A and B are shown apart, each in its own frame.
Chain A
């Protein structure tokens, strides 16, 4: 009973947001009466959604976008987490790497799209590369912060309890202590990666939700554009909640 209540409570803000968007949409339709190719009515978009879903085309695009984000995000984690752990633990190493990170980090992953196309063409790797850039830095920054924020007294406690070599101290204390921050970094970077893949697909792709949107624009089908946008938003929320759930499980009740 209370579980159902709390589930409903969490869903309620989204229902409210959904209603607000729908109201604004209907308002604009009523006042400005735009052409259907610019802003179609909700019913038409719903029908297009259904059409794309039953033909399986929608899921093909979702799968294309998701698999790109997922592989880039995993790759970014495989590089950024060990690098971040090393930067957090070894000040001398951090002093060498940090300026490089600080210089490249402000460059939006979108700014890498032209280079990615030049280097890798419009094949899969170009898009994975753009998402890799977008997911790498949030993961790295959170990992470094996670290691640096470890209470020094926990390190000392580990040492006097028998973790006298670097390896065991790292495995038994540093890694578990930094884990909640690493998970946060992974959650944030999945979000930035999800934003980056849509942008990359807008420019150079033959599949994916970004392609669905840009193709809809080219053939003057705003209903397709809106279906794509809605799916991007909904999937973004779903993945973020999954990560928040994992985060809650792993942050020892601290968060």
Chain B
């Protein structure tokens, strides 16, 4: 019934911003990356390395300065219901209840009321919130809100789900639960997922591949394949070894970004 994921091809994608002072800031230097259909790819990198910029471009919310991104060969020209997004701040519509939020995209697709309801309840069930369908958004905890947002993103059966630090604001235990649910729903529906996170263990737990980005301006530093069977044991030696590899790459970039931050005062002193 549901169409699976589509491959994403990112080719020389770059973005520069112009600040109000007229300076140009390079957020993303040419990034080239292939994501296979149905693949789960995580992106980690220092703060301000352009991860979110990259995701916004893939979502069609931001235009690249150079290069292009294609989904199954089709260039990304703007936002499209075929590419769902999940935001760190949940971005639920507070004037709609839980069910209304999940139905939002289904309404846009023109599905009849009955069908919308069935589908929305189905996806709420897969995140364990079927009994909360009629609750208002302000009645939910942060973890529940993000589960609604995940159900809302998957319910429209997009080919791709773009997730911008979705669990960044949640406590460690809620995070674990949501990671499991996300894995379950992803394995069931085989969507292509691009997932931004600051947590290396989270990236290893979830992904087929982890992309490490360089300090600003962001570029791909390394790509690490995670060949572990699910569910992954974060205490296993293989897991630990992958963590070590990724942290090594990341630490080099973190040092650079700290040096970058410290540079201006040093110049002023001399």
A interface, CB within 8 angstroms of B: 151, 153-154, 156-164, 168, 172-173, 176-177, 179, 252-254
Which residues of B from 89 to 124 have beta carbons under 8 Å from A?
89, 91-95, 104-105, 108-109
Distance of A163 Cα from B79 Cα, bound (Å): 9
Q: Number of B residues contacting the other chain (C-beta, 8 Å)?
A: 27
Minimal beta-carbon separation of A133 from chain B (angstroms): 32
A173 and B80 CA atoms in complex are apart in Å by: 16
Q: Are the C-beta atoms of A157 and B85 separated by less than 8 Å?
A: yes
- Bound together, the chains give a CA A151 to CA B108 distance in angstroms of 21
- B152 contacts the other chain (Cβ, under 8 Å)? yes
The answer to the question of B87 belonging to the interface, with a C-beta cut-off of 8 Å to chain A, is yes
Q: Determine the chain B residues whose CB is within 8 A of the CB of A162 once the complex forms.
A: 81, 104-105, 108-109, 156
Where chain B touches its partner, the secondary structure class is loop
B136 CB to closest chain A CB, in angstroms?
A: 6
Chain A residues contacting B91 (CB-CB under 8 Å) are 151, 153-154, 156-157
Is the beta-carbon distance between A252 and B152 smaller than 8 angstroms?
no
With A160-B61, A164-B80, A172-B108 given, name 12 new contacts (CB 8 A): A151-B89, A151-B91, A156-B79, A159-B61, A160-B79, A160-B80, A160-B83, A161-B81, A162-B104, A162-B108, A163-B108, A177-B93
By a CB distance below 8 angstroms, the chain B residues around A151 are 89, 91
A-B contact pairs, 21 of them (CB 8 A): A153-B91, A156-B91, A157-B85, A157-B92, A157-B93, A158-B93, A159-B79, A160-B60, A160-B81, A160-B85, A161-B81, A161-B108, A161-B152, A161-B156, A162-B105, A164-B80, A172-B104, A176-B93, A177-B93, A252-B95, A252-B136
List of A residues within 8 angstroms of B138 by Cβ? 252-254
Q: How far is the CB of A162 from chain B (nearest CB, A)?
A: 3
